[in-house]
């Protein structure tokens, strides 16, 4: 009887552990004609996806880059919605303005007009990577190679935080700025002090999206996707290293769908989070 109870207890513990793990199920793959997609942004009001396309070297000012639009089923709505950019990466939307990180400048697009209205140089920057906006319209942009976070307020750029190692993914959430700093996730307060929320990702973090209750999704460019819980514990959801890249993801919070740009595989893949 004692052994039976132990067996049942072990089974229940194991089952609860397994059921507690999040999982990804592939839903669709876009046509593989997107030239180096780096970032995906879900646009709730329009039910479409903005995708930044580098189409060339990630550091070269060649004017080949742009923004494409996908429908929610992955079909291509517009291959060349915005053109003439260089190596666009992170995207953020606020009050009909789309902010784009593009090497050493922040590009601003009026999405109603579908045109670039402003290009704002970021002095002393070399590799702007991700961008986010707070509730008041202040823009934050990361420079991965310079280990810096810059801010844009009223069209004026200034340094927000220095010595953030290999900083990439940014997200402003619940009065805090969250940043992927190498293999760590930082939570930065309004005094610019930080705590480490999670650490020990296998690779440096790339994309960052909140899923509620203090939890986050994190991608690492070489091919990893993690679920990060509010207590700092992490679950590896996907490991496709050597098969494809997993760059700066988008997320549909109501349907719990991830949109992963595959970079060198020239496509976007949608996954259901369970």
Residue by residue, pLDDT tens for the chain (274 residues) are 444 333 333 333 333 333 469 999 999 999 999 999 999 999 998 999 999 999 999 999 999 999 999 999 999 999 999 999 999 999 999 999 999 999 999 999 999 999 999 999 999 999 999 999 999 999 999 999 999 999 999 999 999 999 999 999 999 999 999 999 999 999 999 999 999 999 999 999 999 999 999 999 999 999 999 999 999 999 999 999 999 999 999 999 999 999 999 999 999 999 999 9
* Separation of alpha carbons 233 and 252, rounded Å: 23
Asked if 259 contacts 42 with a C-beta cutoff of 8 angstroms, the reply is yes
- Rg of the chain (C-alpha set): 19
pLDDT of residue 19: 44
Asked if 254 contacts 272 with a C-beta cutoff of 8 angstroms, the reply is no
* Separation of alpha carbons 89 and 39, rounded Å: 6
What 3-state DSSP class applies to 43?
strand
CA dihedral 242, 210, 167, 83 (to 10 degrees): 80
* Separation of alpha carbons 245 and 243, rounded Å: 7
pLDDT of residue 3: 45
Asked if 127 contacts 143 with a C-beta cutoff of 8 angstroms, the reply is yes
What are the two backbone dihedrals, phi and then psi, of residue 7, each rounded to the nearest 5 degrees?
A: -65, -45
Dmax (CA) of the chain: 75
Asked if 268 contacts 74 with a C-beta cutoff of 8 angstroms, the reply is yes
β-strand pairing of 65-71 with 215-220 = unpaired
Q: Which of 265, 252, 272, 234 is nearest to 49 (CA)?
A: 252
């Amino acid at each position: 009887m004692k052994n039976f109870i132990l067996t049942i207890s072990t089974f229940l513990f194991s089952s609860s552990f397994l059921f507690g793990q999040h999982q990804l199920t592939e839903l669709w793959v876009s046509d593989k004609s997107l030239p180096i997609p780096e970032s995906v942004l879900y646009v709730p009001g329009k039910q479409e996806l903005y995708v930044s396309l580098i189409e060339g070297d990630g550091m070269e000012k060649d004017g080949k880059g742009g923004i494409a639009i996908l429908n929610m089923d992955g079909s291509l709505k517009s291959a060349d919605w915005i053109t003439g950019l260089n190596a666009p990466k992170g995207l953020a939307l606020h009050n009909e303005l789309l902010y784009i990180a593009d090497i050493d400048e922040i590009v601003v697009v009026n999405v109603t007009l579908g045109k670039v209205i402003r290009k704002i140089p970021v002095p002393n920057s070399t590799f702007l990577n991700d961008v986010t906006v707070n509730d008041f319209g202040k823009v934050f942009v990361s420079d991965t190679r310079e280990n810096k976070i810059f801010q844009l307020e009223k069209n004026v750029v200034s340094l927000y935080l220095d010595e953030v190692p290999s900083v990439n993914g940014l997200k402003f959430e619940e009065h805090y700025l969250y940043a992927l700093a190498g293999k760590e996730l930082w939570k930065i307060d309004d005094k610019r002090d930080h705590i480490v929320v999670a650490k020990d990702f296998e690779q440096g973090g790339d994309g960052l999206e909140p899923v509620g209750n203090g939890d986050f999704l994190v991608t690492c460019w070489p091919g990893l996707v993690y679920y990060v819980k509010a207590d700092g514990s992490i679950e590896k959801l996907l490991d496709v290293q050597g098969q494809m890249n997993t760059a700066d993801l988008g997320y549909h919070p109501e349907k719990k769908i991830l949109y992963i740009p595959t970079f060198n595989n020239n496509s976007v893949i949608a996954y259901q989070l369970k």
